[in-house]
């Protein structure tokens, strides 16, 4: 009976101590967002379907246990015939003013109706409050649910998994 409880107690203790001793942690969350700016510029012959854009996005980061943070992002994209790459920086800011920022990049492929599917990765570059000193990386997949326009649309849902460390607590 005691033998059955030791692993559970050990795992629970490690989860509590992980930030204190600098062990890697994992967070899974969703981002729901939309364009607040999308400056599109065609490149070359319009028949080639090539273009670039400078974008800003806003939305929500949705975490387990109903924790919500405000999402902001800015970046750029380039494509040919709906298939392309993107990069930028995003921040999730919580009600307690803690935040973390990620530099991200990825690829997107077209779906019917002007929609797209995305996949990429990110690196945690800064944090405040409970995320002060964050280091690590993330992966993400997602898709758009509405086509993009100049300053709205391209509603997206993105699933993210982050693996990170925080400095040892003193």
Report the distance separating Cα 83 and Cα 140, nearest Å.
Answer: 17
Question: Where in the chain are the domains?
Answer: 2-165
CA–CA separation, 136 vs 104, rounded Å? Answer: 12
Q: Which of these, 143, 60, 74, lies nearest to 103 by C-alpha position?
A: 74
Residues 79-88 have pLDDT tens digits of: 999 899 999 9
**3-state secondary structure (DSSP) of residue 4:** helix
Distance of CA 104 to the CA centre of its chain: 7
98 close to 127: Cβ distance less than 8 angstroms: yes
pLDDT tens, residue by residue, 70-127: 999 999 999 999 899 999 999 999 999 999 999 999 999 999 998 999 999 999 999 9
Cα 110 → chain centroid: 20
Q: Which pLDDT does position 141 carry in this prediction?
A: 98
Across all residues in the chain, what is the average pLDDT?
89
pTM: 0.84
CA proximity to 109, closest of 132, 139, 137, 142: 142
Right CATH for 2-165 from 2.40.420.20, 3.40.630.30, 2.40.350.10, 1.10.645.10: 2.40.350.10
């Amino acid at each position: 009976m005691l033998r059955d409880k030791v692993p559970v107690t050990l795992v629970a203790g490690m989860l509590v101590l992980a930030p204190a001793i600098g062990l890697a942690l994992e967070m899974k969350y969703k981002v729901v967002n939309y364009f607040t700016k999308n400056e599109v510029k065609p490149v070359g012959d319009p028949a080639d379907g090539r273009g670039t854009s400078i974008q800003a996005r806003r939305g929500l980061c949705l975490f387990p246990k109903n924790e919500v943070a405000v999402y902001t992002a800015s970046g750029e994209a380039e494509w040919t015939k709906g298939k392309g790459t993107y990069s930028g920086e995003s921040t999730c800011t919580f009600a307690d003013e803690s935040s973390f920022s990620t530099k991200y990049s990825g690829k997107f492929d077209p779906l019917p109706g002007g929609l797209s599917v995305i996949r990429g990765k990110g690196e945690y570059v800064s944090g405040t409050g409970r995320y002060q000193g964050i280091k690590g990386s993330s992966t993400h997949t997602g898709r758009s649910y509405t086509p993009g326009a100049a300053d709205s649309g391209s509603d997206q849902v993105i699933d993210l998994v982050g693996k990170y460390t925080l400095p040892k607590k003193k």
